[in-house]
Chain A
Amino acid sequence: MPLPDPEQLVRALAEAMRGRIAADAGMIGIYTGGAWVAERLHRALGLATPLGFLAVTLHRDDFGRIGLHRESRRSQIPFAVDGREIVLVDDVLHTGRTIRAALNELFDFGRPKAVRLAVLAERGTRELPVAPDWLGAKIEVRSDEDLVLSNENGKLRLAMVTRP
């Protein structure tokens, strides 16, 4: 089965979200893939509040097993989180643990009024009670495979990758 075009999924997501989020909502993309999706959604929806980014490595629950990822990206939230509606954006929803980590990271910056979740694709193997408010597509993925979003010269692409 061919994988859907993520650029089309983003456009469909934006249509579904239009008019459903507060005018002053703050959108936050989760590094890396979620940030690419959020950049597109933010532009398509013409949100006034600048886009934010979250790095979740410092809150991951598998830190003890795999250590820190080597990356120097930091969370950047260029608006006040307190009392604001937040739209979290990620590329692929898998176990839900990334979203759990993102929520913890987000709450280090303040107490949002509400947090919504938009994801490009879900692979249907959640381990935590985390469900998206807006979903691009549900894609079946074998347990030995990963669904990976890549960004090639500004063009998003979904691919199925077998785990090493």
Chain B
Amino acid sequence: MNGSRDLQVGPDGRLRHLLTTEGLSADLIRRILDTADQFVGVSERDVKKVPLLRGKSVFNVFFEGSTRTRTTFEIAAKRLSADVINLNVAVSSTSKGETLLDTVYNLQAMDADMFVVRHGQSGAPHLIARHVKPGVAVINAGDGRHAHPTQGLLDMYTIRHYKKDFTALSVAIVGDILHSRVARSQINALKTLGVPDLRVIGPKTLIPTAVERLGVRVFHDMAQGIQGCDVVIMLRLQNERMNGALLPSAAEFFKCYGLTVEKLARAKPDAIVMHPGPMNRGVEIDSAVADGRQSVIMPQVTFGIAVRMAVMSMLGSQ
């Protein structure tokens, strides 16, 4: 998507919006991760606040419900001293018939500096980014099946934290790749950062056709796919998928693709296990793994705040 590249990064190389990890250069991704390093420390001190976004207004505009993601953006913005306004648009304006852009124009008239947008339709944040005033930034907090760039970036931060170098890694992404905007954002970023061995594992019904074109290897057998991996990323199996005849049952899915201690034993002994949350224990991941020695699921949450602070501070300096 060339349009999003021009939309995201200005001619001076600075980040203007964050809409997708697709097209982000390795250098820019590293710059975001380096910036996040500075913010990890902020959350550990007495005063968990720095004044970088003091006087700025960040609007969390969620057309699709998500308490967790909204909360992490809210915490990140508040630790940067921004004023945060949360709008659960799903149950207000749109139900009264207002169009997406009218909602945005109204919020812009209230002098918003930054929009954090989640929308069920792929491409909605791009549309908004094309229509906001210069200097107003848009962060995609998840759009349809398309992208969830801050999740992808916090996963890169987590992998870098534990594995240092991307260029010798085997990474497996397991589960519902088809409906996952998280998987797309991860795959783009992992390829850009030079991961040589990237695998997706799941049943045929949940793997997009021609996904190999993204430079990944497809496995339908979990034991085979996970063999020798350094990083195992589990995806959430959305309950609504059970109804659509894509899967026989949660128990059946767990038997084939749920991450258990036995299956994980095929990965490298120092492999890390990641999950974007919220987890379905006993569906895609066993508790013994989720709470086990190799799990970095809680650090992912902590790093997520720092990465979102990094993105917001970079966007807020324009």
Contacts and interface: CB of A to CB of B under 8 A. Distances in A.
Contact of B38 (A63, A72, A109): A72
A75 interface: yes
Given A57-B38, A109-B45, A67 B50 contact: no
B14 A67 contact: yes
B124 to A, nearest CB: 28
B195 interface: no
A71 B35 CA distance: 7
A16 interface: no
B317 interface: yes
Interface size class of A (residues with CB under 8 A): 20 to 34
5 contacts: A55-B38, A67-B317, A68-B314, A70-B35, A72-B38
Contacts of B34: 70-72
A97 interface: no
Nearest to B44: A74
B40 interface: yes
Given A59-B51, A70-B35, A109-B46, A75 B317 contact: no
B278 interface: no
Interface string B183-202: 00000000000000000000
Given A59-B51, A63-B317, A104-B51, A68 B35 contact: yes
A68 B317 contact: yes
A108 B49 contact: yes
Given A59-B50, A68-B317, A74-B40, 20 more contacts: A58-B38, A58-B42, A58-B51, A59-B51, A63-B317, A64-B316, A64-B317, A67-B314, A67-B317, A68-B38, A68-B314, A70-B31, A72-B37, A73-B38, A74-B41, A75-B41, A108-B45, A108-B46, A108-B50, A109-B47
B52 interface: yes
